[in-house]
Chain A
């Protein structure tokens, strides 16, 4: 294994980070489109799905090629494993962003209730988890992901409370059902996005230490 390989790993990392930010922005923009009823922005997020797919495919292919050509070991191997994880989780996060963008038009055809309840707060938490996971990958600093498990617990409990809250609205007034169902779905998407943040954090930890942990 030559220096060429390590140069390539460094280049790969830049591309992976780029894709992670791209996906993260799809999620944050979709939430922005939702709370500001910005159909144009929602449409833009939906359009980005193709590029997300293309990037995912390219990155995955690149990582597989590097494994095949260089047969990396130790930290090199672990950093490629981590890169693959970041790429896959970013793909999922971006897709959830697209799913949320899809709901924007539908939601505003329904009567307004509860001003999006805790969804904006929940999305801030989930996105901050993703940001820290990406940053810890970028800086190879596992102190940034300390406390990830507790943050994930908060996100999980928000999902449960949104579900309960929506349930009361729906029981009170069946006219809110459509909108509430979207809320519940979005809460579920955000919870999954936070989980993907945790998965990235786990692999960053593995990359840095060689040990596997479970964040739940």
Chain B
């Protein structure tokens, strides 16, 4: 299923928003069932790159892309590829928790239903499993039919992760999943990420370098639309090869 332990292979990816180039010739591999962090200053293209992995940039009108993002060896930008099918395989969790204004149960069951699951027992099982895998089950099992909007921010974010898990993806993309959470909720999400990599490949964009160093196995540093350095997280934080990386992670930027 994977080539040389990679789930996604990015090849010479360039991206423009109108006339502005946002990604320059990015080539990288996302390791299978590992956590990969993308770091870099604001506007460096890390979120843009993340959004390329499941074609979220399709929604931006002026966006133009060349190069390839290969998932299981097939370019997801090839003609005839259904972005909805891609997003089922490659799910995404956003910066702010964005549960649907529905019950906890319906939030999770929504995706599987859209993809055609009808059987109540089957749905019950998916909801329970997803909530368990997102480390939220114990906290919500007695309030499955109450509104998800009543959950705390950290719970809502784990609900969104559970919602992503419910459709059975292989890759989970996280765009600053903890930036709206307090340190305790953050710690919960971080240990959850550690659990998730047993079954999923995770890519996380974060502004928090300590978070990148805590949760990820591999780290990529983006700067001005380029992937400046990519490598083992320990190496990046102990002795980066590139001066730009050194300057960024030690706060000597500008």
Of listed A5, A73, A209, residue having the most chain B CB within 10 A: A73
State how many residues of chain B have any CB contact under 8 Å with chain A. 13
A180 to B237, CA, bound (A): 52
Q: Is A71 among interface residues, defined by CB-CB distance under 8 A? A: yes
Beta-carbon contacts under 8 Å, A1-49 to B: 1-2, 5-6
Looking at the complex, which one of B213, B238, B239, B252 makes contact with A6 (CB distance below 8 Å)?
A: B252
Q: Is the CB of A2 within 8 A of B251?
A: yes
Encode contact with B along A60-90: 1 for CB under 8 Å, 0 otherwise: 0000000000011111111000000000000
Looking at the complex, which one of A5, A71, A74 makes contact with B246 (CB distance below 8 Å)?
A: A74
State how many residues of chain A have any CB contact under 8 Å with chain B. 15
Q: Is the CB of A1 within 8 A of B239?
A: no
Looking at the complex, which one of B210, B213, B245, B250 makes contact with A76 (CB distance below 8 Å)?
A: B250
Q: Is B13 among interface residues, defined by CB-CB distance under 8 A? A: no
Beta-carbon contacts under 8 Å, B227-246 to A: 237-240, 245-246
Which B residues are CB-close (under 8 A) to A211?
239
Looking at the complex, which one of A73, A209, A210 makes contact with B250 (CB distance below 8 Å)?
A: A73
Q: Is B209 among interface residues, defined by CB-CB distance under 8 A? A: yes
Which A residues are CB-close (under 8 A) to B238?
73-74, 77-78, 210
| Least CB separation from A206: chain B residue | B239
Of listed B209, B239, B240, B245, residue having the most chain A CB within 10 A: B239
Q: Is the CB of B252 within 8 A of A73?
A: no
Of listed A5, A74, A75, A76, residue having the most chain B CB within 10 A: A74
| Least CB separation from A6: chain B residue | B252
A95 to B246, CA, bound (A): 37
Of listed B237, B238, B249, B250, residue having the most chain A CB within 10 A: B250
| Least CB separation from A77: chain B residue | B238
Which B residues are CB-close (under 8 A) to A73?
209, 213, 237-238, 249-250
Which B residues are CB-close (under 8 A) to A1?
250-251
Q: Is the CB of A78 within 8 A of B251?
A: no
A209 to B235, CA, bound (A): 12
Which B residues are CB-close (under 8 A) to A76?
250
Which A residues are CB-close (under 8 A) to B209?
73
Which B residues are CB-close (under 8 A) to A210?
238-239
Which B residues are CB-close (under 8 A) to A6?
252
Q: Is the CB of A209 within 8 A of B210?
A: no
Of listed A5, A75, A209, residue having the most chain B CB within 10 A: A75
Q: Chain A's nearest CB lies how many Å from the CB of B191?
A: 19
Which A residues are CB-close (under 8 A) to B210?
71
| Least CB separation from A79: chain B residue | B250
A176 to B237, CA, bound (A): 57
A2 to B254, CA, bound (A): 12
Q: Chain B's nearest CB lies how many Å from the CB of A50?
A: 36
Q: Is the CB of A74 within 8 A of B239?
A: yes
Of listed B237, B238, B240, B245, residue having the most chain A CB within 10 A: B238
Q: Is the CB of A74 within 8 A of B237?
A: yes
Given known pairs A209-B239, A210-B239, A211-B239, the reply for A75 and B250 (CB within 8 Å) is: yes
Q: Chain B's nearest CB lies how many Å from the CB of A72?
A: 7
A5 to B252, CA, bound (A): 10
Given known pairs A209-B239, A210-B239, A211-B239, the reply for A75 and B246 (CB within 8 Å) is: yes
Which A residues are CB-close (under 8 A) to B213?
73
Which A residues are CB-close (under 8 A) to B237?
73-74, 77
Which B residues are CB-close (under 8 A) to A75?
239, 246, 250
Q: Chain A's nearest CB lies how many Å from the CB of B230?
A: 16
29 interchain pairs (CB within 8 A)? A1-B250, A1-B251, A2-B251, A5-B251, A6-B252, A72-B250, A73-B209, A73-B213, A73-B237, A73-B249, A73-B250, A74-B237, A74-B238, A74-B239, A74-B245, A74-B246, A74-B249, A75-B239, A75-B246, A75-B250, A76-B250, A77-B237, A77-B238, A78-B238, A78-B239, A209-B239, A210-B238, A210-B239, A211-B239
A-B pairs with lowest CB-CB distance, top 6: A210-B239, A1-B251, A73-B237, A76-B250, A73-B249, A74-B246
Which B residues have a C-beta under 8 Å from some C-beta of A? 209-210, 213, 237-240, 245-246, 249-252
Known: A5-B251, A74-B238. 8 other contacts (CB 8 A): A2-B251, A73-B237, A73-B249, A73-B250, A74-B245, A75-B246, A76-B250, A210-B238
